């Protein structure tokens, strides 16, 4: 487990991360010292579909306004800030990568949302939060780096209140063979744990979730890929080769090597 976690942290760690983000914001005409949530949304939604996919996932999951949300695998905090600013949510973020946690805290402070969002280091398979604490657990493209999905699902179930919502965007393996690497979540297969689509659904049911549904295709966002035209994109946080990695996702989806999923379930 420690070795697996170390590989994931190494994959996401970038030297000078905050400086890279500040430079990208400045180049796009934004004030890095006092960015808006909208400006940051050009680069801080690190999954393939970017900001648009976060919007659709929140809508399809039916996240209540004013909810207490756990952003499980929060990255640098884009979805947390969106939910806090648009849905009036109180958000707790947790992420495995120390650099992401530090940057998320800085960006929360710069946007004036640090009173609504807290961020801690931790794993989605061993959450530091108490039982029955949240109305919603949001997880975006984190599960592909998680080998023990049973533990991940059990922990989400534990921290949710009865009737609470668990929503996951996930990419599963397709029927046409291995995906094309490098990918956003893994440059090589060693830290990529996809599983078949039906396995993800069954994992949630075994954990005690009910009304488990895959709602991919019901929204209006492109699951594979593109951040909005003119946006900065996830490169500053994820690496200069992100264009290639996103293109590999699109090709792998088109060829049936990958299957996008957007799961919504409730705690019984």
Digits of tens for pLDDT over the chain (268 positions)?
455 588 999 999 999 999 999 999 999 999 999 999 999 999 999 987 889 999 999 999 999 999 999 999 999 999 999 999 999 999 999 999 999 999 999 999 999 999 999 999 999 999 999 999 999 999 999 999 999 999 999 999 999 999 999 999 999 999 999 999 999 999 999 999 999 999 999 999 999 999 999 999 886 644 444 444 347 999 999 999 999 999 999 999 999 999 999 999 999 8
Average pLDDT, the chain: 93
**75-89 tens-digit pLDDT:** 999 999 999 999 999
Crossing angle, helix 78-86 and helix 98-110, to 10 degrees?
A: 30
Q: Is 219 helix (H, G, I), strand (E, B) or coil?
A: coil
Please tell me the pTM assigned to this model.
0.94
Check residue 1 and give its pLDDT.
46
pLDDT of residue 5: 82
Domain count, the chain: 1
Q: Which residues contact residue 142 at a Cβ distance below 8 angstroms, ignoring those fewer than 6 apart?
A: 72, 73, 124, 168
Whichever domain contains 104, its CATH number is 3.40.50.150
pLDDT of residue 48: 75
Residue-number span of the structural domain to which 117 is assigned? 2-267
pLDDT per residue as tens digits for the range 3-38: 558 899 999 999 999 999 999 999 999 999 999 999
């Amino acid at each position: 487990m420690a070795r697996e976690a170390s590989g994931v942290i190494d994959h996401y760690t970038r030297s000078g991360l905050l400086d890279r983000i500040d430079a990208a914001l400045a180049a796009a005409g934004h004030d890095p010292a006092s960015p808006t949530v909208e400006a940051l949304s050009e680069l801080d939604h690190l999954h393939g579909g970017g900001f648009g996919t976060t919007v659709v996932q929140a809508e399809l999951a039916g996240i209540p306004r004013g909810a207490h949300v756990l952003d499980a695998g929060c990255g640098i905090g884009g979805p947390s800030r969106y939910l806090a600013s648009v849905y009036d949510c109180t958000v707790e973020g947790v992420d495995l990568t120390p650099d992401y946690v530090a940057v998320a805290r800085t960006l929360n402070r710069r946007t004036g949302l640090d009173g609504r969002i807290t961020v801690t280091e931790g794993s989605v398979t061993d959450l530091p939060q108490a039982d029955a604490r949240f109305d919603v657990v949001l997880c975006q493209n984190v599960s592909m780096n998680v080998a023990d999905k049973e533990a991940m699902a059990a922990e989400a179930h534990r921290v949710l209140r009865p009737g609470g919502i668990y929503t996951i965007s996930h990419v599963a393996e397709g029927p046409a063979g291995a995906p094309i690497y490098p990918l956003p979540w893994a440059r090589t297969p060693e830290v990529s744990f996809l599983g078949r689509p039906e396995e993800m659904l069954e994992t949630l049911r075994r954990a005690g979730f009910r009304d488990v549904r895959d709602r991919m295709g019901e929204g209006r966002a492109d699951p594979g890929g593109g951040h909005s035209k003119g946006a900065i994109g996830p490169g500053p946080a994820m690496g200069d080769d992100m264009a290639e990695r996103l293109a590999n996702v699109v090709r792998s989806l088109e060829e049936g090597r990958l299957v996008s999923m957007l799961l919504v379930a409730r705690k019984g």
